[in-house]
Structure formats: C-alpha cells, structure tokens
Amino acid sequence: MKQSYFLFAVAMMSLLLSSCASQDVQVLQQKNADLEKQLSSANDQIEHLKNVESDLREKIGDLQHTTSVLTTEKTSRIEESSSLRGQVRKFVQNNIDNFKSFMVQGNLLDYVGSEMVGRAKQDKTPILLVDFANPMPTSGVITGVGGFFIQGGNVEVKVLHPVGSDYVVTWESKLLTVEHAGKQQIQFPLSVGVEEGDVIGYFFPQMPNVGYDSSTGETLFNNADIPLGGTVSKSTLSGAMERRAYSLGVYGLLDAK
C-alpha cells in the first residue's frame, strides 16, 4: 500500500515538473520570438539609416561642389573687379594733371577766399593764418592755392574741420613754393576732400610774402604752427578786432547746392 502511494506521488511530481518545464519552454520561445522581431526591426532601422546616410553624403558632396563653383566664380569676379578698379585708378592718375591744367587754364575751378589784389600791409615774422570769413560753402575737393604775392616764398595749406566750438587740423599740404610775385596759382600734388563748414589755414614758415588789409575780413592768426591733428579755437587766436583780409584762397571742385 505504501509502495503504491509512493509511486503515485512520484508520478504526480513528474507530471507537475513536466508541465512546469513545458510552460517555461513556451515562455522562452515567446521571448525568443519577441527578440527576433526586435532584432529584425533594429536591422530594418539600421538599413534605413544607412540609406539616409548615403543620401546625405551625396547631398553634402553636391553642396561642396556647388560651394567650390561659387567660390571660384566669386574669386573670378573679385579679380575682375580689382583689375578694373586698378585700370580706372591708373587712367585717372595718368589724366588728372592734364585735367587740373585744363580747369586752371579755362578758369573753371571754384574759388574760396578773399580777392587776390595788392594790399597795403605785410607781416614780418612767421605766422599761421586761419580764414574764418570764407568757410567751404559745400563739400567737394580742393586742388590748389592761389594768392597775390609780394615776392617768391613758401606756404603750407591746412584744412581745419569744426568740432563743436573747436577746429581740428585734418589735412596739411607739403611746403609749397611760390616762384614769382603777383597773382599765382600753385597746384597740390594730390587733391583733398573738404566738407561744408571747413576753414582753410595758411602757414608761412618765414616772413609772409602776401599782404593784408584791415576791417574787411575775418582772418585770425597765430605766431606758431598748429600740426596735423592739432586743435584750435577762435578764442586762442589773435586778430579778432583787426578783421584782417589776406589775398589768399583755394581752388577746387565743389558740389553744387
């Protein structure tokens, strides 16, 4: 009896274990099937990404080629433009002297300054003159200086730009030589741009070779030169009460109002 019961118990245990093992196998098989599906999906995604990467690389190659073409075209245009500008500059430089001479001989240049006539008085020491009576009426360029000179000598021309109540020396010429007495015009080596309201200064490093009258102008003066970049105001200059007018002025091409 006991033996029969033992065998029955063993049989039931075996059946239970077999059933559990079967369920475990089924679970594992299901998990394996799920993993295979995930692997297949991942492989499909990887293949898709590879195709996308291939397309992007092709597009990048096309863009790089386009960029290279545009760079080459732009460089070519820049070179052509630079060459053209250089040719224009060379043409202007080759013709500007003749153009200046033509304008001077034809009396076609604008003049800003006092009348170039003989005057009674003359300074005896080096002097800087600033003509406030004849500011630039418009912007433009000035090409030279003119005056009614007592004798030969030297003069340096300056452009003073108003900044508030002061004036700043923004340009100065080289020392220019006046060859003869009388009415003379001396051209600058290079023309210079001026703006409306700029005033002109004249520095004579030796005794001035130009005369002046009193009570007809507004030329102030200083016994020392003011260098390029220097600043001056009317209150620091002399001669306000004298109202001097010198036979000096500048020539140029000014914009029409």
Rg for the chain (alpha carbons), in Å?
47
Phi, psi at residue 219, to the nearest 5°? -95, 120
Average pLDDT of the chain?
Answer: 84
Report the pLDDT averaged over residues 24-40.
Answer: 77
User: Per 3-state DSSP, what percentage of the chain is helix, strand, and coil (rounded to 5)?
Assistant: 40, 30, 25
For residue 172, give the amino acid letter.
E
Residue 121: helix, strand or coil by DSSP?
strand
Residue 13 clears pLDDT 80, i.e. is over it: no
What token pair was written down for 204? 């004579």
Confidence of residue 100 (pLDDT cuts 50, 70, 90): low
Q: What pLDDT score was predicted for residue 98?
A: 58
Q: Where are the beta strands (DSSP E) in the chain?
A: 110-113, 121-122, 127-131, 140-149, 153-163, 166-172, 176-178, 182-194, 199-204, 211-213, 219-222, 231-233, 245-246, 248-254
Q: Model-level pTM?
A: 0.62
Specify whether the CB–CB gap between 201 and 113 falls below 8 A.
no
Sheet holding 110-113, edge to edge: 110-113, 248-254, 140-149, 182-194
CA pair distance 251, 108, nearest whole angstrom: 10
Q: 108-153, pLDDT tens digit by residue?
A: 788 999 999 999 899 999 999 999 999 999 999 999 999 999 999 9
Among 207, 205, 219, 192, which Cα is nearest to 113's? 219
Which residues contact residue 152 at a Cβ distance below 8 angstroms, ignoring those fewer than 6 apart?
177, 178, 179, 180, 181, 209
Q: What pLDDT score was predicted for residue 104?
A: 55
Q: Residue 30: count other Cβ atoms within 10 Å of its Cβ.
A: 10
187 pairs with which residues across the strands? 144
Q: What pLDDT score was predicted for residue 82?
A: 61
Which burial class, exposed, middle or buried, applies to 25 when counting CB atoms under 10 A from its CB (0-12, 13-18, 19+)? exposed
Q: 52-62, pLDDT tens digit by residue?
A: 888 888 888 87
- Please name the residue that has the structure tokens 């033992």: 6
